[in-house]
Structure 1
Amino acid sequence: MTTAALLTVASFGLAGPAAAESLDGAYTGTVTGGPGPVGERSTWVFTSCGPGCVQETSSNRGMLQLQGNTWTGMSDGCTLTIDNGSLVGAIACPGYAPLQFQLTKAG
């Protein structure tokens, strides 16, 4: 499965942190490890869907729920996690090595 496919398959719902730490807005996701080419970039856009919830809207990755300090979502058997502090994330799909990435706030 290609990196683009893994990123697209990861249609997840996000739960957000406190308003001061919200994921709302645009981010650049950079592959840091796993099956994709390290350094490959993609755009991620998050919109609040309520307390502890964000929707990734640029690639339809879905919703993530904030659990402790980690945003977590699941879609098509794959799990998406993003650390709320470091913005380090991973997409784990059965049968594939996890794809690791780093989000950076755009603008």
Structure 2
Amino acid sequence: MKSAGLLLLTSIGLVGCVHTASEQALVIRDMGDAMNECRRYTEERLTEVTGISIDRLSTRENNNEYDVYLNITDGHQRGYVQCQVSKKEGLGVTYHAVRDFEREQRYFAG
């Protein structure tokens, strides 16, 4: 009986430690996390994009945030995305701009 109670308490404790993908994405520890968060954020908003690559030469770390640049394509056109990802826990992407990429009858140009 004691082992069943211990198992139940352990199960409840572990469920409380599980984080959703969106909660995990908001913990930005380094440049790699910032790049992944920018990519995830872009994929959610630009579903027609078929290719995303990181522009490592333009991406940089500042005092309070990371500036991340992505090259994007949908197979017919190319453009780029600029993200600012906050270093403060829980904020994630604070700025997102799409440049030189047509989307649903709108044109994004910088």
Q: TM-score range by the shorter chain?
A: 0.3 to 0.5
Larger radius of gyration: 2
Q: Which has the higher helix share?
A: 2
TM-score, normalising length from structure 2?
0.33
TM-score by length of 1: 0.34
Select the structure that is richer in strand.
Answer: 1
